[in-house]
Amino acid sequence: MANPLLYPNVTALPGQVGGASESKQVDRLNREQELKSKGEFSKELDLELKKAIPPGSEQVQVGGQLTSPVKPMLKFSSHATQRLRERKIELDTATMTKVSDAVDKADAKGVQDTLVLTGNAALIVNVPNRTVVTAMDRGQLTGNVFTNIDGAVII
């Protein structure tokens, strides 16, 4: 008789008869039990995800279940952070959401580096890394030439 305390990925102890087949049976039973408990967890997770997903947002099917795509957050380079501070540019949550959506649009078009114009700022964003490289106040834009960008999104 196999020791029921053995972990499924541990082979039979020396001297045990039929340990390999019994170990496979224990492994199968453990997986079945895990799937049953995972089902309850999945139900709870789905409920929480449905609460967290705003109406009208996209959903992706993963492994037969609908989930919300996880968008990476925007990052700010140290240079951009310094410019925001120096120029007293404040970006609220709503603006950051719009900037993130603008970066998604630029990404969908294959843009590598984009200029994002907001109500009070101009941001240069590296799209693949989702990193804000630099920032300018909208009032300072007159007469400036933006180089090394291959797209612009105005929000």
What is the DSSP track for 61-98? EETTEEE---PPPPEE-HHHHHHHHHTT----HHHHHH
Q: Which residue has the higher pLDDT, 107 or 56?
A: 107
User: What residues contact residue 85 under an 8 Å CB cut-off, 6+ apart?
Assistant: none
pLDDT in tens, 85-134: 999 999 999 999 999 999 999 999 999 999 999 989 999 999 999 999 99
Q: How far apart are CA 55 and CA 63, in angstroms?
A: 22
3-class DSSP state for residue 143? Answer: coil
The yes-or-no verdict on residue 62 having pLDDT over 70 is no
Q: Does domain 75-154 have CATH number 3.40.91?
A: no
Q: Does the pTM of the predicted model rise above 0.85?
A: no
User: Residue 56: its pLDDT value, please?
Assistant: 47
pLDDT in tens, 4-28: 555 555 555 555 555 555 666 777 7
Domain ranges, ordered by start, for the chain: 19-67, 75-154
Mean pLDDT, the chain, integer = 77
User: What residues contact residue 34 under an 8 Å CB cut-off, 6+ apart?
Assistant: none
